[in-house]
Amino acid sequence: MNGAPPSITLSQAQSPCFVGLDVGGTNIKLGLVDNLGRTIARQTIATQQQDGPQAAVERMAAAVRQIVQQAGGSLDKIPGVGLATPGTMDIPAGKLLQPHNLPAWWGFPIREKLSAACGRPVVFANDANAAAFGESWVGSGQGFLSIVFLTLGTGVGGGIIIGDLSVDGQHSHGGECGHVILDYHDTARLCPCGQRGHLEAYASAQAVVQRTQEGLEAGRPSSLRHRLASGEGLTPLIVAEEAERNDELALEIVLETARYLGIGVVTLMHTVDPGAVILGGAMTFGGPSSPLGQRFLERVRQEVRRRAFPVLAERTSVVFAALGSDAGYIGAAGIARAAHHAAPGGSAA
Amino acid sequence: MNGAPPSITLSQAQSPCFVGLDVGGTNIKLGLVDNLGRTIARQTIATQQQDGPQAAVERMAAAVRQIVQQAGGSLDKIPGVGLATPGTMDIPAGKLLQPHNLPAWWGFPIREKLSAACGRPVVFANDANAAAFGESWVGSGQGFLSIVFLTLGTGVGGGIIIGDLSVDGQHSHGGECGHVILDYHDTARLCPCGQRGHLEAYASAQAVVQRTQEGLEAGRPSSLRHRLASGEGLTPLIVAEEAERNDELALEIVLETARYLGIGVVTLMHTVDPGAVILGGAMTFGGPSSPLGQRFLERVRQEVRRRAFPVLAERTSVVFAALGSDAGYIGAAGIARAAHHAAPGGSAA
């Protein structure tokens, strides 16, 4: 679980171990993960994106060395390092293209530079795809042949994992599941990407705020008005809080968000037919531990049952993610592991 | 190309060779295919579905033996046979479930029965996925890391191929690309599957007929009225013929069909990010050899350019299929080949 202590020590680990890094606009999470996906140690460092990518790569390499040494290990026993970053990116080339939250890093050949700085092979991945891989490997996707992962936050990200394969796509845009079309009409909601009718235009945090705003502007009665009058900003969190207090508008917004998600999920089920659809990210209205989160999930499932092929509606699991914000570094380590085991010199485990 | 003579003789073939079968409601196509995907011999036999699946399996096994022997080969040198059938099916179990055009065969364990009858290992595949595999291997998808294939006919079928992997899905429903949602509203068009708003409800032959009928009923002037008045039935073929003569309604129907397809294609591009999207099947308005087919394809591309992420719009190929109705048996043979080469005893070619 997110925030839980590392689960094992190096002496309990199954070799080989891998390091995974998950680079965000603010922080970089990294972890030392064993061959069974268990975290031995982890750490968070600041991204300091404004200092440029080479400085960050050097701090990342230092953190990799440190985490391995502090666990009592030796970097030369680590067959590979997994590096996840936000897109856009060129995965086969190991390069960042234009990640919007890393503007000082555009065009940087990060894979090769990190490999040079830490002296180990580095495998490069998209951050949402890495999180999907983590959930597939040791999270809510365990035991399924394939999964689709949706990460709900400011936007709606996604990843598709089939066996050990992350569907990166021909142009490093695989699994952009927030950009499936729900409504092709010119009247459909505008997505931040500039197009209309995408899932993200309906089910992201930004969309929740906008749809709530529209309800308020239309004169709907709501306890949200008191919150806003007292100077609070309109966020999915206060929508969730008022929904938990049974405010009609707020609850409707939460359940409509679930409905839109369910529609997008059905398109993904009819395309990929995964064993499980996994919902993660910050905007799951409390997630598994909250009654509102459970209502939200149940409403997604209801829409899936209503719209999917009967056999898929019956058999596909629609569940919350299990790894929280650890999914990215665990998945990055898992992708490094898969590459290692697939390579001619790798073990056949 | 479809209907072209077999391309090589057995003495020119690269070993090993594989047999592929593509079972339809009326006919079964089979072919002997070499390790490079070239057809050495092919044959069509009647399905005779009403005589039941065991009788068909025996005729299929006899045809497999015959096609190999007539080419001068020996069945025991064929490492595997690929068998493609229409769904629904249980691919891991090798069983037909409820294929609607094979009602007398429901529940039949066809893979094991065919394997017993011809004495060779049999690999089982969905027919549209097999056709996608064929196009990926030696058709319009050659050289791409991944492809999405759409087959336009009475319905809209599909297949997704990533490398040597056919995306069969956890429940043998992978690649049902005709059932991506274009419009989530309750007012959206009804799909033959019973749901609303699916691509198939807009872009299948049935949808073309229905949309044309609606235009005529709305009083649109059209040369189609003369055709119908002379006793002809309304079909996509006569819509295409009148569109070629620049009938306004007919041409609008053809180009709108392309537009809907383009919308569905964008959802698939944002999900799978294939190198190529390949359009096949009988309802491509003449396909590559017809000016109308070219206008149709150009309109699909235009919608993709309008709606897809810029990098994908620029780089993803949207093309017609190359193998016609041979794609199914070639792809079935290719899937048998991929299984053979992946197996521990298989060659590492």
Q: What are A101-145's pLDDT values in tens digits?
A: 999 999 999 999 999 999 999 999 999 999 999 999 999 999 999
Q: What are A35-60's pLDDT values in tens digits?
A: 999 999 999 999 999 999 999 999 99
Residue B57 lies in a domain: yes
> What's the average pLDDT block by block, 10 residues per block, for chain B (349 residues)?
67 95 97 97 97 98 97 96 97 97 97 98 98 98 98 96 97 98 98 97 98 98 97 96 98 98 98 98 93 98 98 98 97 98 67
Q: Which residues contact B272 (CB under 8 A, 6 or more apart)?
A: A160, A167, A169, A174, A271, A272, B146, B148, B160, B162
CB-CB under 8 Å, B273 with A172 = yes
CATH, residue A215: 3.30.420.40
Q: For the stretch A79-104, what's the b/e string if a residue is b when 16 or more beta carbons lie within 10 angstroms of its beta carbon?
A: bbbbbbbbbbbbbeebbbeebeebee
Closest chain B residue by Cα to residue A348: B344
Length in residues, chain A: 349
CB-CB under 8 Å, B170 with A309 = no
CB-CB under 8 Å, A307 with B173 = no
Length in residues, chain B: 349
Which residues on chain A are in Cβ contact (under 8 Å) with B309?
173, 176, 179, 193
CB-CB under 8 Å, A271 with B170 = no
CB-CB under 8 Å, A193 with B316 = no
Please tell me the predicted confidence (pLDDT) of residue B346: 63
The answer on pLDDT for A349 being more than 90 is no
Among B71, B100, B133, which residue terminates a domain?
Answer: B133
How far B315 CA lies from chain A's nearest CA (Å)? 8
CB pairs under 8 A between A and B: 143
The answer on pLDDT for A5 being more than 90 is no
Nearest to A271 among B165, B268, B275 (CB): B268
Q: What are A174-207's pLDDT values in tens digits?
A: 999 999 999 999 999 999 999 999 999 999 999 9
Q: Rounded to whole angstroms, how far apart are CA atoms B333 and A217?
A: 61
Residue A349 lies in a domain: no
Which residues on chain B are in Cβ contact (under 8 Å) with A160?
271-272
A255 and A174, same domain (yes or no): yes
The CB density around residue A144, as the number of other CB atoms within 10 Å, is 20
CB-CB under 8 Å, B180 with A183 = no
CB-CB under 8 Å, A144 with B173 = no
Please tell me the predicted confidence (pLDDT) of residue A7: 77
Q: Is B90 helix (H, G, I), strand (E, B) or coil?
A: strand
The CB density around residue B153, as the number of other CB atoms within 10 Å, is 17
How far A246 CA lies from chain B's nearest CA (Å)? 27
Nearest to A165 among B162, B267, B311 (CB): B162
A336 and A256, same domain (yes or no): no
The answer on pLDDT for A302 being more than 90 is yes
The CB density around residue A66, as the number of other CB atoms within 10 Å, is 15
Tokens of B237: 């073929």
A116 and A178, same domain (yes or no): no
Residue A133 lies in a domain: no
How far A296 CA lies from chain B's nearest CA (Å)? 19
Nearest to B184 among A183, A271, A274 (CB): A183
A316 and A336, same domain (yes or no): no
Residue A145 lies in a domain: yes
* Higher per-residue confidence, A2 vs B63: B63
Q: Strands A276-280 and A317-320, how do they pair?
A: parallel
Tell me the residue range of the domain where B310 lies: 141-321
CB-CB under 8 Å, A181 with B266 = yes
Q: Half-sphere exposure of residue A122, counting CA atoms within 13 Å on the CB side? A: 28
Residue A348 lies in a domain: no
Among B133, B149, B173, which residue terminates a domain?
Answer: B133
A80 and A157, same domain (yes or no): no
B205 and B292, same domain (yes or no): yes
The CB density around residue B154, as the number of other CB atoms within 10 Å, is 16
Residue A332 lies in a domain: yes
Among B106, B133, B160, which residue terminates a domain?
Answer: B133
Q: For the stretch B89-107, what's the b/e string if a residue is b when 16 or more beta carbons lie within 10 angstroms of its beta carbon?
A: bbbeebbbeebeebeebee
Tell whether the torsion through CA atoms of A229, A235, A239 and A240 is positive or negative.
negative
B145 and B283, same domain (yes or no): yes
Tell whether the torsion through CA atoms of A158, A164, A169 and A171 is positive or negative.
positive
Mean pLDDT for chain A? 96
CB-CB under 8 Å, B182 with A181 = yes
B221 and B287, same domain (yes or no): yes
Which helix (H) or strand (E) covers residue B77, if one does? none
B91 and B145, same domain (yes or no): no
Which DSSP letter does residue B6 get?
P
Residue A169 lies in a domain: yes
Task: Check if the beta carbon of residue A64 is closer than 8 Å to that of residue A30.
Answer: yes
ipTM of the complex: 0.96
> In chain B, how many domains are there?
2
Which residues on chain B are in Cβ contact (under 8 Å) with A263?
181, 184
Which residues on chain B are in Cβ contact (under 8 Å) with A179?
270, 309
B94 and B153, same domain (yes or no): no
CB-CB under 8 Å, A171 with B315 = yes
A193 and A286, same domain (yes or no): yes
Tokens of A68: 């391995």
Tokens of A147: 């999964």
Nearest to A273 among B165, B170, B198 (CB): B170
Nearest to A271 among B172, B193, B271 (CB): B271
CB-CB under 8 Å, B315 with A180 = no
Nearest to B170 among A174, A267, A275 (CB): A275
Best A97, A166, A181 member to test B by mutation, with max B CBs in 10 Å, is A181
The answer on pLDDT for A3 being more than 60 is no
Q: Which residues contact A246 (CB under 8 A, 6 or more apart)?
A: none
A158 and A292, same domain (yes or no): yes
Using only the alpha carbons of chain A, give its radius of gyration. Answer: 21
Q: Rounded to whole angstroms, how far apart are CA atoms B333 and B34?
A: 9
Residue B294 lies in a domain: yes
